[in-house]
Structure 1
């Protein structure tokens, strides 16, 4: 299984495990979407990686030059569904990032309520370089608008230390990543669930839903170009 999901009480551990670099194929996107959709409001999720990188985005081996426009659009929507499910997940979730978080991997990290990053982590948004225009609405939740635009337009990679300076992530040593993410999830689990749910709906006038809707609009505008 490319995504291992286990539960201990209210804590749900989601481990991306598709060696060598956690490139996402259709089945992994589907598994991620199901895991986020199946979460109960009282759960707390941790998304982490067992591979060399957190997630390097779309598995380019799945792209075929002979695919029809309809097939390519279906593939794009299939991948986007995982990110949208993360944003609309009823449960809060923590992302524990090490190594590269690229493309869809960066978007999954930016969809988290709490982002913990190791000192070796870095983020990349090569969407324009590979021919798509989507992702800005999600990435700017964590990276901010100006940095997100720069990354998308120039292909610049951003280290976790810079993201931490912006307040978007907590920076820890690599050997502390799993423990710190677990402690953050436990702290959230100890809160009164209805208050957590209310907070996530009302902060920023439900900014999570706003980001999801804006991301969907990005996709449809790209496909309609």
Structure 2
């Protein structure tokens, strides 16, 4: 499949985005008026300390949380204005999620775990094709307990991409992995971006990951501290941390 040429178009437009948890003196200001355009087809890396707002932003973009104020649009459609049914449809059609913990069903094989998602998608890959894309064709009939941590995370990625989402949202996808295994997982994400044109947004504490990104956003105290664009990107297997 040829990559989709969406690089010049913002897939997300975010303006004055604010998220407050709690009230009064106990209120936590997770996002403080964030403005950001995210071009389609890129790899975007979000860096910053714990509590800086990265995961809150990702959850809002993924339709898992709602802002307290401000706007977030996907392809010029307001996520804020969507009701719960519309958000569910948005997640089903457009968003794949990858988390630090793999959340695989232990009683199902790798292929069956991927099939859980492909069964509900409009235009899914077959589990075989999705597992082949992450280099696990030969492990399709293995259960999670028979797979290494890196292999389990690659199954989780295959599950996320089987429905061919527009966006892949990754929250610390290498957080539970050693550096060698982490690079192999990041290489898979890079391949998905290059081959399918999927927009990939990665939260990470591994600062070296920024070298593989098209665009890097640094967060601090609920605000964007810095945005920079890489003129060249390293292959993920060249990263060192």
The two structures have a TM-score, normalised by structure 1, of 0.31
| Structure with the larger helix share | 1
Greater Cα radius of gyration, structure 1 or 2: 2
| Structure with the larger strand share | 2
